[in-house]
């Protein structure tokens, strides 16, 4: 099993996001033994007795052959699910303590989700944002949609600072259909601000998943000597001692993560923390296991 887990640094060596996504998704699909229960939509719900006037196309002829009674197959969703991925390209996403920075990891994650949606013939769209919407690919199931999405992901470059208010307000204008919204970001904002901005998407009947991408050094920084730290987005500098980084900072970041998780769950949002040092397929697998429990 372990050998299927793909190290992010190995993925970084693969040219082309489509190949990365295919490698990741095909790998864990094989691991799941093609379970029929996964996916975002088209789930089987129940059988109903045929009534005159019903569309004969939905009659289950196999059941009719066995029982000589006509039953209709009913599904939970009438249409395919619409997946919209919000990819944060702020400057803080450029941070890394090893080979893969957060943005690169988020790209792999986005590409994998897009590939997964295509396999299920779901409509997938993409919004790339920092303090404004940088790129928008409307959700669609058209031919070539995956290529467009991957191209947009490929072109996603770091911008300035993160501002959730503006792009999410913009997003509400485009998302008319209900669907699944995956927000991939490092969420370097106060949890209350993040949730207050993103939660309104939930009110439209959307299902929202927060992918919190963080570098391991952001969670447990390792300083050998006092250093001058510079904020990637604001440019502010501050001098930090190793003692502080090893004693007080972990407590604060843990409290932050806990608050973000609880506030997200309190607002009906799915929250998933991803460490960029973890294998990507393992992270996706864990996420889908959680999803399966809910659906």
CB of 72 vs other proteins, minimal distance in Å: 54
Query: Counting contacts by CB under 8 A, is residue 176 touching other proteins?
Result: no
In whole angstroms, what is the distance from residue 238 CA to residue 230 CA? 6
Query: Counting contacts by CB under 8 A, is residue 49 touching other proteins?
Result: no
Query: Counting contacts by CB under 8 A, is residue 232 touching other proteins?
Result: yes
Contacts with other proteins by CB under 8 A: the residue count is 35
E strand or H helix at 150: helix 145-155
Q: For residues 256 and 191, is the Cβ–Cβ distance under 8 A?
A: yes
CB of 259 vs other proteins, minimal distance in Å: 12
CB of 112 vs other proteins, minimal distance in Å: 23
Longest Cα–Cα distance in the chain: 81
Among positions 185-204, residues that touch other proteins (CB under 8 A) are: 186, 188, 190
Query: Counting contacts by CB under 8 A, is residue 122 touching other proteins?
Result: no
Angle at 98 between CA 95 and CA 99, to 5 degrees: 95
In whole angstroms, what is the distance from residue 201 CA to residue 212 CA? 17
From 175, 189, 201, select the one nearest 270 (Cα to Cα). 201
Q: For residues 44 and 72, is the Cβ–Cβ distance under 8 A?
A: no
Three-state DSSP state, 211: strand
CA 210 to chain centre: 7
Query: Counting contacts by CB under 8 A, is residue 166 touching other proteins?
Result: no
Query: Counting contacts by CB under 8 A, is residue 29 touching other proteins?
Result: no
Specify the stretch interacting with other proteins by CB under 8 A; choose among 4-12, 37-45, 59-67, 90-98: 90-98
Query: Counting contacts by CB under 8 A, is residue 258 touching other proteins?
Result: no
Specify the stretch interacting with other proteins by CB under 8 A; choose among 39-47, 107-115, 196-204, 232-240: 232-240
Specify the stretch interacting with other proteins by CB under 8 A; choose among 136-144, 194-202, 240-248, 285-293: 240-248
Query: Counting contacts by CB under 8 A, is residue 130 touching other proteins?
Result: no
Specify the stretch interacting with other proteins by CB under 8 A; choose among 24-32, 147-155, 164-172, 223-231: 223-231
The structure tokens listed for 251 are: 């407590």
In whole angstroms, what is the distance from residue 206 CA to residue 190 CA? 23
Q: Which residues bind other proteins (CB under 8 A)?
A: 92-93, 95, 102, 186, 188, 190, 215, 218, 221, 224-234, 236-244, 246, 249, 252-253, 256
């Amino acid at each position: 099993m372990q050998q299927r887990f793909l190290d992010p640094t190995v993925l970084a060596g693969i040219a082309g996001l489509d190949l990365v996504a295919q490698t990741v998704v095909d790998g864990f699909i094989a691991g799941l033994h093609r379970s029929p229960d996964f996916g975002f939509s088209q789930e089987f719900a129940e059988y109903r007795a045929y009534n005159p006037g019903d569309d004969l196309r939905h009659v289950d002829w196999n059941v009719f052959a066995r029982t000589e009674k006509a039953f209709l197959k009913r599904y939970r969703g009438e249409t395919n699910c619409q997946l919209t991925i919000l990819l944060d390209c702020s400057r803080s996403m450029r941070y890394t303590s090893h080979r893969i920075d957060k943005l690169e990891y988020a790209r792999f994650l986005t590409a994998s989700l897009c590939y997964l949606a295509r396999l299920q013939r779901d409509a997938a769209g993409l919004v790339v944002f920092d303090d404004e919407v940088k790129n928008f690919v409307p959700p669609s199931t058209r031919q070539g949609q995956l290529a467009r999405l991957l191209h947009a992901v490929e072109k996603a470059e770091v911008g300035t600072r993160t501002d959730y208010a503006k792009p999410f307000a913009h997003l509400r204008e485009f998302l008319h259909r209900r669907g699944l919204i995956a927000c991939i970001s490092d969420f370097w904002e106060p949890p209350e601000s993040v949730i207050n901005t993103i939660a309104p998407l939930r009110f439209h009947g959307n299902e929202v998943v927060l992918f919190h991408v963080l570098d391991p050094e952001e969670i447990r920084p390792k300083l050998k000597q006092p250093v001058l730290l510079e904020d990637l987005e604001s440019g502010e500098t501050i001098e930090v001692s190793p003692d502080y980084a090893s004693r007080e900072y972990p407590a604060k970041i843990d409290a932050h993560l806990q608050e973000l998780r609880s506030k997200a769950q309190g607002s009906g949002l799915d929250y998933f923390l991803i460490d960029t040092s973890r294998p990507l397929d393992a992270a996706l697998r864990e996420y889908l296991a959680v999803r399966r429990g809910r659906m």
